[in-house]
Structure 1
Amino acid sequence: MGNTKLLEKKNFIDQCIRNGVLLNKEFLDSIDDFSAVNPLDLARKDMAVIARYNTKDLAELSPQEIERKTVYIEKKRQISALEIASPGSDPGPKDPLAEHMHGVRGNALLGTIKVVHSYSEKAKKREVQDFVGYFNARYRSIEKLLRNRQELGAVTSISRVLTKKDKETVSVIGMVKEINLTKNGNMSMTIEDPSGEINIIVNKTKPRLFSFACNITPDEILGVTGANSNKVIFANNIIHPDIPNKEMKKCNDETYALFLSDLHVGSNHFLEEKFERFLKWINQESGNDEQRNIAAKTKYIFFLGDIVDGVGVYPNQELDQNIKDVNAQYEKCFELFSKIPSHINLIICPGNHDALRIEEPQPPFYPDFSGRFLQIPNATYVSNPSFVNIHSSENFSGFDVLIYHGYSFDYYIANIDQIRTSGGYDRADLVMKYLLERRHLAPTHTSTLYIPDSEKDILVIEQVPDFFVTGHLHKTSVSQYKATTLISGSCWQDITNYQIKVGHHPEPGRVPVVNLKTREMRILRF
């Protein structure tokens, strides 16, 4: 290749990069005259990678056909390493121009996704001992978090406290076994650790502490400091593991992440027209200049469960459906999701309506039912719950995102006075804050169905997320708790008779949007 043509090739690549278009080597090699191809035309086709087509072929293809024929060179690495173009991955071809393109593919255009944790254990028979191991594993994890709290000081085992004869101030950590009110109106609480159990009294003459204790839930693990007397601790303070304060992360480039949930594709109430309006906007075909700018700079879309309506979720569900076969429901999802520009990363987790076990942690989608839905090249499929890191680079650690569909939320809305009387189903943020304080997604035994893993309780919130994102309640909520942004996705299903009966107030067709540079949040309505 002569110096002139090499320079033309480099200039052409630079123009494509500035217009948000990424090309692969095969396409570049097919171009004889770079002046005959307009990068702006390619940008309007919303392509992330153009593969194995010459300029004549491209001119004859519609944007939808090109989108379907788009080839992702990185697909195999995404599946095997659960990582997209992360630091330390395959550096790509040695040609300087190709290396330049590869670097942009990984960072400037596609962004990065690292799956920190996604549950993938194989199913096996569970025994009673697995439940014992499960709760012991949970206790060890949260005890470790509590021991870092300065308020607890020197923690003593319950068995040692029971042997003490002199009154003194003690600190213990335990799992809540039982909660009652005494005949005098004080709170009596039994907690246990591996060495034994002890009664805790919270006196009503300490109104702030008493009010705090009224929102304790069975099976949560907490710390108590107080005066020991006659094998009873009179509480002076109750400490949750909680998340610590930290600096709020922000990236250097203007990039957006979107959060959607509860499409319920297959339901008679699925609002396909609203979702098509979303698809039109994300393809930059509608909206004002500011809204189109957000669409153009969106690199991540999270789908937070209940992608389909499922089958057999409740009695006579088929009467409420226009697609009654779950395979067909996922095929419809494939058709819809394939309309999203292929340069945008999709992170998709299941929910309680999706076609897999309801017990948590739910693994990623089963291929038996999902078909082509699992073949979307720009999608990363994770478990419920899961933990991912997005938008990391050589000089930025990225954002940690805790993903949880939210099946346990119903229990806490119904049983915790602080949440029920402050908005209930309209205040997902209160439930999320409550769970972060306890560092567990379902601290009460009956709040969700679960698989007892004797090695590790996956529902423990060990790492502090930058974003805690959920769905399930069909109502958008955005809030901030310390340095963690709390986001509950909306839905794309109209209100059902069941929701009317239980007092839900869904707000369909709303999309929370986060500017990762400023951490500002807004909600778009479709």
Structure 2
Amino acid sequence: MPLETPARIVSELASRGYNAEREAVTRIADTRDPSATLERALETLPDEALKLTTDHVESVIEATESTEYGPDTEPNPETETAGAPTQPHPSVSTGTGEPTSTEPGTTAPPETGGSRDVDTSLRAIEVANDMTGQSTGTGEYSDFVAVFRDRYEKLASKLRGRVNHRPTDAIENMGGGSDAALIGMVSDIRSTASGHWLVELEDTNGTFPCLVMKDRPIADLVQQLLMDEVIAVEGTLADDAGILFVDSLYFPDVPRTHSPSTADRHVQAALISDVHVGSQEFMEDAWHRFTDWLHTAEAENVEYLLIAGDMVEGVGIYPEQDEELDIIDIYDQYRAFSEYLKEVPGDMEIRMIPGNHDAVRLAEPQPGFDEELRDIMTAHDAQVHSNPSLVTVEGVTVLMYHGVSLDEVIAELPDEEASYEEPHKAMYQLLKKRHVAPQYGGHTRLAPEDRDYLVMEEVPDVFHTGHVHKLGWGEYHNVVALNSGCWQAQTAFQKSVNIDPDAGFAPILDLDTLDMTVRKFS
């Protein structure tokens, strides 16, 4: 078996009864012929030694290079790089290669400099809501109060024009039988013995119970509610004014009149997510076909690449993940991803956000990478922003969110409203709630900051997520909602939880029309 990766080298060493220093394994993997280097290292290892050291591997590599090139010769940098893998991918670009065929098995042209007929001076990109380097939360009780108050105020402002809101303490002092309206955060939902719904709403002054009768048309809307989201209700107070009988229920929602912005020229963006480099199931061939295609005339208008998280597989994310890793070191995973990214034309603008497999905190909002990872991720000057971030590309606002909360939305809501087979419908629910992760204390971990970065204050033109490894897209009130699938074949863990991924797809968005074309490379 070829030994191109550290994981396979470690496995081979273990099968022979040896251990090794991590740097020693990395140095072997970086050589042109890892299998031969390992054999020479073991052949020259002292009989009593059970551990392969970095110094020993270095001496073997040095001796090998001096033998191959001779004492009076040096490697030719134009023909090969000492210590580089023999595989043609990931390629390092020179800007001189010709575009190649997209047939399976072909390699990407060696051109990171970009040889396409692209006028980069026409580009315009802005990023908002990026909290990288802005984290202030310490986990104190006051931090949580502040972030929930900020959420309430922002979402309540979008509902006040629809109802004649009164605070809870004012409603408590109203007479029985009065008409009343309330904007509140859902603090409890339960069914009564008669099958009606009792929803408790909380504002900054207190809480108030609201009853939705099971035979009312709005009863179905209660099943779409999540804890901690902000809604508005209208109705009539009971005779004792102790409860509000609800006649109408409103979400912050995207206005039906929303008119999306478009680019002033024909330009496209590739929207992908969940690459998972480092996994044994990373679809390397599909990635090569995708990057090959990006170098063709057919893809000449694809000037932006937006990646919605999980660039690498990560370490310790799920049980026994180490058995499914091709690269066992998280930093080596990012180095490999950066090399794969070099296959993309160098004249493309690349923006990314982290996901739950990436080396940042799990709690959302997730900041962009730290300096150590940014130093590794240098290919094409790709920019990493926080999760979520609002990226405006030539006037088109794209809300990029990795999508961990989709698991909760799908678990909590009826199948017809949210499912893994149609992930974009779960995204419709988040657009309706104007919040990417409304429910606190569940599967999605939320961090308190000085404000709630997860509120959709501005209506996006495009909502782009990943995480669930399923492909789905549609429109909700003129907002394009896209979950872009993945680049990882089904893992043993995914099979155990019945996840059948949509892998090797690249959605291509026309920024001038917001039309979507999905290309398959698997």
TM over 0.5: yes
Q: Which amino acid aligns with 2:326?
A: N
Alignment partner, residue 73 of structure 2: none
Alignment partner, residue 145 of structure 2: 132
Residue pair 1:478, 1:512 contacting (<8 A) in 2 also: no
155 and 422 in structure 1: CA distance in 2 versus 1, 3 angstrom threshold:
closer
2:403 is equivalent to residue 406 of structure 1: yes
Alignment partner, residue 218 of structure 1: 227
Alignment partner, residue 316 of structure 2: 312
Alignment partner, residue 301 of structure 1: 305
505 and 249 in structure 1: CA distance in 2 versus 1, 3 angstrom threshold:
same
Mapped to 2, the partners of 1:269 and 1:252 lie a distance apart of 40
Shift of residue 422, structure 1, vs aligned partner: 5.5
- Aligned length, in residue pairs: 414
Shift of residue 125, structure 1, vs aligned partner: 2.9
Residue pair 1:255, 1:299 contacting (<8 A) in 2 also: yes
Q: Which amino acid aligns with 1:451?
A: A
Give 1:316-331 correspondences, 5 Å limit. Answer: 316-331=320-335
Mapped to 2, the partners of 1:118 and 1:320 lie a distance apart of 33
2:208 is equivalent to residue 198 of structure 1: yes
Mapped to 1, the partners of 2:168 and 2:136 lie a distance apart of 36
Shift of residue 342, structure 1, vs aligned partner: 1.1
Give 1:57-96 correspondences, 5 Å limit. Answer: 64=110, 67=112
Residue aligned with 2:290, SS: helix
Residue aligned with 2:322, SS: helix
Shift of residue 45, structure 1, vs aligned partner: 5.5
Residue pair 1:167, 1:227 contacting (<8 A) in 2 also: yes
Shift of residue 252, structure 1, vs aligned partner: 3.4
Give 1:145-184 correspondences, 5 Å limit. Answer: 145-149=158-162, 152=163, 154-184=164-194
Of 266, 272, 276 in structure 2, the residue corresponding to residue 264 of structure 1 is 276
Shift of residue 301, structure 1, vs aligned partner: 1.0
Q: Which amino acid aligns with 1:131?
A: F
| Cα deviation digits, residues 214-240 of structure 1 (max 9, x gap) | 221111110000001222100000000
| Cα deviation digits, residues 336-374 of structure 1 (max 9, x gap) | 11111111111111100001111111111123245431x
**Sequence identity of aligned pairs in percent?**
31
Residue pair 2:261, 2:397 contacting (<8 A) in 1 also: no
Give 1:36-47 correspondences, 5 Å limit. Answer: none
Shift of residue 475, structure 1, vs aligned partner: 1.2
Give 1:234-273 correspondences, 5 Å limit. Answer: 234-244=245-255, 245-273=257-285
344 and 369 in structure 1: CA distance in 2 versus 1, 3 angstrom threshold:
closer
Residue pair 2:112, 2:380 contacting (<8 A) in 1 also: no
Shift of residue 421, structure 1, vs aligned partner: 4.4
Residue aligned with 1:522, SS: strand
2:128 is equivalent to residue 116 of structure 1: yes
2:497 is equivalent to residue 452 of structure 1: no
Q: Which amino acid aligns with 2:398?
A: V
Shift of residue 505, structure 1, vs aligned partner: 2.2
Alignment partner, residue 365 of structure 1: 369
132 and 379 in structure 1: CA distance in 2 versus 1, 3 angstrom threshold:
same
Alignment partner, residue 387 of structure 2: 384
TM-score by length of 1: 0.75
Residue aligned with 2:218, SS: helix
Residue aligned with 2:158, SS: helix
Residue pair 2:184, 2:203 contacting (<8 A) in 1 also: yes
503 and 424 in structure 1: CA distance in 2 versus 1, 3 angstrom threshold:
farther
Deviates more, 1:495-504 or 1:266-275: 495-504
Q: RMSD across aligned C-alpha pairs, in angstroms?
A: 2.2
Of 478, 485, 498 in structure 1, the residue corresponding to residue 480 of structure 2 is 485
Q: Which amino acid aligns with 2:341?
A: F
Of 357, 363, 367 in structure 2, the residue corresponding to residue 353 of structure 1 is 357
Q: Which amino acid aligns with 1:240?
A: F
Mapped to 2, the partners of 1:308 and 1:272 lie a distance apart of 13
Mapped to 1, the partners of 2:366 and 2:264 lie a distance apart of 35
2:503 is equivalent to residue 508 of structure 1: yes
**Gapped regions of structure 1 (runs ≥ 5):** 1-40, 47-61, 72-100, 285-291, 392-397
Alignment partner, residue 67 of structure 2: none
Mapped to 1, the partners of 2:320 and 2:374 lie a distance apart of 23
Deviates more, 1:121-130 or 1:135-144: 121-130
Shift of residue 126, structure 1, vs aligned partner: 2.4
Residue aligned with 2:380, SS: coil
Of 492, 499, 517 in structure 1, the residue corresponding to residue 512 of structure 2 is 517
Mapped to 1, the partners of 2:306 and 2:396 lie a distance apart of 13
Q: Which amino acid aligns with 2:280?
A: N
Shift of residue 43, structure 1, vs aligned partner: 8.5
Q: Which has the higher helix share?
A: 1
| Cα deviation digits, residues 347-404 of structure 1 (max 9, x gap) | 111100001111111111123245431x23342211100111111xxxxxx0111000
TM-score by length of 2: 0.76
Residue pair 1:227, 1:234 contacting (<8 A) in 2 also: yes
371 and 315 in structure 1: CA distance in 2 versus 1, 3 angstrom threshold:
farther
Residue aligned with 1:237, SS: strand
Shift of residue 42, structure 1, vs aligned partner: 7.5
Alignment partner, residue 81 of structure 2: none
Shift of residue 132, structure 1, vs aligned partner: 1.3
Mapped to 1, the partners of 2:508 and 2:465 lie a distance apart of 14
